[in-house]
Structure 1
Amino acid sequence: MSGLEAAAAIIGITDVALRSVKGLYNFFEDLQDARESLPQIWSEISYLQTNLSSLEFLAKAGEDTLKNVKATGITQGINECGNVCDKFTRQLTRWTKDGVDGLIGKLNFKLHSAQIEKNRARLWVTARMLDMAVGILTLKLVLKFETERATEISALKQAVDSWQLEAEQAREKISAELRTLDDTEDSGVIDELDEEEGVLKRFVEHSGQTAGQLQAIKLNQTISGIKSDDNSTVKLGMPAAVVDKVVQQTITDVTSTKSKVTVGIW
């Protein structure tokens, strides 16, 4: 059993989901014409498949860790994505049975463009949920210096805000498109757009919850026993950009002679 398989078994991600994600990845890896015709799908499934390995550090997760994992929603997200990948792979197999680069293959991709875009959105959402989950869990479970944790919190918060904005803009675009459609339009297209809008809306909400989890992480910083070398420049403490994360800061026993030392918040 691989590290990913062990971690997945612990946190509740099914073997079927992992195989389905890998199956969609393999479909594109084995078919160059599909990669060239649907480059965004190939990009998203490659990113997701590669980054699933970032869950391996959970292979020995205990009960407390499992509670943290559940709070991220990543188990449900990947299991649902597995179902989507399985169905999408079967659809792609049918659509490309007569080739990808020929007239029929191109026509099939055009006819099913709404389904393809919906699935791209699902892959994008799941990959970003994975990034969020790993970021949050790493901050909570992996021992690091507080300054390093503070920097990672700030970077993840910026990424989450950016993804949330991107998803909201995409959702608003779909919503506007739906308002222009009437009953004469293909109901299948409307259904696909509705579903894609729902996926993006839930991701926007999930991003807000993740931002709240990040806001709740607070740091206690203790620095002691520092002796600086002559003619050196030393900064001890926290940059002002992350000061809102610091609950308490204690700096003691700092010795300096001919060096430049900045202590506290800088």
Structure 2
Amino acid sequence: MIHPTAIIDTGAELASDVQVGPYSIIGPGVRIGAGTVIGPHVVIKGPTVIGEHNRIFQFASVGEDCQDKKYRGEPTRLEIGNHNVIREHVSIHRGTVQDQGLTRIGDDNLLMAGVHVAHDCMIGSHNIFANTTGIAGHVHIGDGVILGGMTGVHQFCRIGSYAMTAGCSLVLKDVPAYVMVGGNPAAARSMNFEGMRRRGWSADLIALLRRAYKLVYRQGLTLEQALAELDQLPQSLELALFVDSLRASERGITR
């Protein structure tokens, strides 16, 4: 299960069936759950907790000190959930004391080759980040988000659940739930209506969200005016997710 050339610190805790490939290094303060497979030439630094049935490919760097110049070696953490796929050359950094001291990644995410997740990011579940996507510090990303290849996300941005970015997008402001953006800087294009249909959402629900999108993006209203109009629509959990992502924005939304 563990290649003889791998270096496992005595302060690391690995479940009995964890596989570790050649020349990988696992440091102290690392805990890895059952069924996880670590490829060759992977470096994992603690304090880091990795859940069950993850797969980490060669040359990934997981749990390293962050690149924030304010970081002075304080004890910070990285938490990764279950069933994630972390491809080649992905880098994921621990948090800073300027935030919660924690970087967190949920379950069932696919981080393609070359993705960078910076310090203090909070990433949900069922996301896909395509090749060489760069996510700066303190970014919050919901569930079911797709980031196109070479997307760049500015620090402190929020990307709501089920949003999408086109390839080579530069996200400088918050992206509300469901919204599709593209360009440099990114601008709103539509909602992910095709994704809604694939999830089996009803035509009436999709029409409701289409109406909500038009209120925010097509009627020339301020955000406050649009939120007042949204409160008058038939309410649903899906609409509430959109509205909540608008209200949570601190940087302003991508228009």
Quick check: which has more Rg, 1 or 2? 1
TM-score of the two chains, using structure 2 as the length reference? 0.25
Instruction: Select the structure with the greater relative contact order (CA < 8 A; seq sep ≥ 6).
Output: 1
